[in-house]
Structure 1
Amino acid sequence: MRVKEYIGKEIFKKYGIEIPKSFLVTKDTNLESLKFDFEELVLKAQVLFGNRMKNNLIIFSNKQNFFKDINTLFSKGIKEILVEERIYFEKEFYLAVFLDTYERKLKVLFSEKGGIDVSEASELNFNNANEKIKEIAKKLLKIAIDYDAELVEINPLVLSKNSYIALDSKIIIDNNSLYKHKDIKIEIENEIERIAFENGISFVDLNGSIGIVGVGAGLTMATMDFFTDVAFFMDIGGGALAEKIKVALKIIKMRKPKKVIFNIFGGITRCDEVAKAIVEEKLNIPIFIRISGTNEEIAKKILKENGIEVFDSLEEIIRTYL
């Protein structure tokens, strides 16, 4: 489950990572009573999908235009708005911790450029890294461990007047561990997310046209990194049973992407179960599948017999069709 930005930043602050001055506004907030000491503001809609800037859900404002701009966001159906002091900075970076399910360990990713996709970052070399960056990276690792997170991301992390400040937060927590984290507010914004959550499926909605389905957070995110037009990414989890896979396919039908890419590595998950479910569900949209692991030959046979092409690698899918 992805938590909203303001919750992620509260966690950052708790672990000693600097964030901008801020406060949360809802429709029930008495705006006239608000007092704050910063002139320039950033108003950020608290939603669980990306591309907020492109969707005009982030507004650079000031005290004079505060009420008008707040109401502009509320008029779009936004329920919560994070109001922050605008930070001017000299440099921006990308810093994240993610769970690599291939190697079964947490990895730290870093880039000298902020605002990038995760695919453009590389693993942080702690021997050569700036001491401040290393310190923040260690705090992100601690957060990931303490909160059973699949991803903890600051994008961008900025350098402003000799201080490193997290201007954004993205934290995705393993659904199966939410019962341990009573301090995390569980928010489900639509029917698709509710179905995914109730069935132990990690689902993150985006704004593109390609659906990404994988087994394990690391594999799913690695697949997503190849594409810029992602509609959603969905992790059905290791050991996924046939019924759970059918729920994932139901979600795909509800979300209606233009095409779907399956990147399945069946360690515990049986590939033939995945194949049977895909065939039975009849998605009626272009399907691109890379599948390997337990019973993969049986799975490939099932798919090919039903007219579904199977690929040996993700690169082959990209090269051939996308």
Structure 2
Amino acid sequence: MDLFEYQAKELFGRHGIPVPMGDVARSPEEARVIADELGVPVVIKAQVKTGGRGKAGGIRPAPGPAAAEEEAARVLGMEIKGHVAHAVLVEAATVPFEEYYAAFLVDRASGSFLAMVSAQGGMEIEELAARDPGALVRMPVDPVRGVDGEELAAKAGLPAAAAAVLERMWDLMVGEDALLVEVNPLICTTDQRIVALDGKVTLDGNAAFRHEREPAELTGSLEDRARAKGLNYVKLNGSVGVIGNGAGLVMSTLDVVAAAGADPANFLDIGGGAGAQVMADGLEIILSDPDVRSVLVNVFGGITTCDAVATGIVTALELLGERGRARPIVVRLDGNNAEIGRRILSDARHPAVRQIPTMDGAAELAARLAAGA
């Protein structure tokens, strides 16, 4: 479960990780009150579970309460990569002297914990790793031994004052059953204080029974709407919507779409026993994404029969009306009751639906349609 920045910083506070003073506002008027109480220049930060907020205009400085109200009005309701900002963090503006990067995560490739620290922060870690691989220190973490903050800070070129914060980040990782704890940037102020200016935390949902936590806040995002329908959906940054049955098949479909020259817009697994309603729900979610320019439905019928999938597609398109006609839908059905499913789609004669018998061929057509070819 990904947390909003303000939720991550609440956990930071519990574990002794310094953060700027601030509070959450869900209206411009609340933002003004918080800024007035802080009594210093503030920053208005969109609360969305995605990156790129600064480039999208979701982080705005405000020198006083009136400006805070005005900037909050601009940010609230803003959509960033399919996520709508229903709240803002009103936070005391903090000027960095130096910026660093620090993260602890579960490294699935090695089956262990990994620390990643750099003396160069404030940019996307992928950009940093590509531009200057030597600037990012990667160190495996023994879960029994824990973290030696002084050793880690020294290797990465961080000041000694950062050592305690690194150790507290590890304490949060273990104590909260987190899969990721990231601060970018972790800053050193002009008076030599180490402060977490941003924060990302992903909690292990399988360990939720060990913790007393408030229910996840629903924001109206596509992922929240999908979760409410019981769908396994992840928003991505491409233009080809993808639906499949089974995580392995969906992952393979994402790879085939990429090989065809397009970027997938999402991961959506309708599962092994899904019926027509689940298929209809999944298609409705994907067609609600403005980034999607074509849809690829790739199903191998087993427990989920192809006729049930086809019925779900027809049902969804009937419910969506004109929205269902706006973007092309490429369907590849194979396996249990495939012939019946193909006949159902053919008989429906929906203008948005194209049927292709192979996965590669379907991906290539979806990629061309997304590109407008």
Tell me the TM-score range normalised by the shorter chain: 0.5 to 0.7
1:83 positional shift = 0.8
- Paired residues of 1:20 and 1:87 also in contact (CA < 8 A): yes
Amino acid in the other structure paired with 1:69: E
Higher helix share: 2
- Paired residues of 2:77 and 2:86 also in contact (CA < 8 A): no
Match of 2:187 among 137, 142, 158: 158
1:106 positional shift = 1.7
1:207 & 1:169 partners in 2: Cα distance? 21
Alignment map for 1:285-300 (pairs within 5 Å): none
2:12 & 2:45 partners in 1: Cα distance? 17
SS in 2 for 1:55: coil
- Paired residues of 2:226 and 2:282 also in contact (CA < 8 A): no
1:170 positional shift = 1.1
- Paired residues of 2:182 and 2:201 also in contact (CA < 8 A): yes
Q: 1:88 to 1:55 in 2, by over 3 A?
A: same
Q: 1:274 to 1:105 in 2, by over 3 A?
A: farther
2:295 & 2:121 partners in 1: Cα distance? 29
Superposed CA deviations along residues 46-84 of structure 1, whole A, max 9, x for unmatched, are 122322223222111111522322233346474322111
Q: Which stretch of structure 1 is more off in the superposition, 160-169 or 23-32?
A: 23-32
1:259 positional shift = 8.1
Q: 1:145 to 1:215 in 2, by over 3 A?
A: farther
In the alignment, structure 1 residue 193 sits paired with structure 2 residue 219: no
RMSD of equivalent CA atoms: 4.4
- Paired residues of 2:27 and 2:73 also in contact (CA < 8 A): no
Q: 1:177 to 1:286 in 2, by over 3 A?
A: farther
**Higher relative contact order (CA closer than 8 Å, sequence separation 6+):** 1
Alignment map for 1:185-224 (pairs within 5 Å): 185-190=215-220, 191-196=222-227, 199=230, 201=232, 203=234, 205=235, 208-209=238-239
Q: 1:252 to 1:173 in 2, by over 3 A?
A: farther
Task: Specify the alignment match of 1:36 in structure 2.
Answer: 37
Task: Specify the alignment match of 1:144 in structure 2.
Answer: 173
Amino acid in the other structure paired with 2:95: Y
Match of 1:173 among 203, 228, 249: 203
Q: 1:51 to 1:176 in 2, by over 3 A?
A: same
1:276 positional shift = 5.7
Q: Percent identity of the aligned residues?
A: 22
1:165 positional shift = 0.9
In the alignment, structure 1 residue 101 sits paired with structure 2 residue 112: no
Amino acid in the other structure paired with 2:224: E
1:143 positional shift = 1.8
Q: Which has the larger radius of gyration?
A: 2
Alignment map for 1:35-74 (pairs within 5 Å): 35-63=36-64, 64-74=66-76
Alignment map for 1:218-233 (pairs within 5 Å): none
Structure 2: runs of 5+ lacking an equivalent: 79-83, 130-135, 140-151, 311-327, 333-355, 362-373
1:93 & 1:27 partners in 2: Cα distance? 32
Match of 1:113 among 100, 116, 120: 120
Match of 1:87 among 94, 97, 122: 94
Amino acid in the other structure paired with 2:176: Y
Amino acid in the other structure paired with 1:106: F
Amino acid in the other structure paired with 1:108: A
Amino acid in the other structure paired with 1:70: A
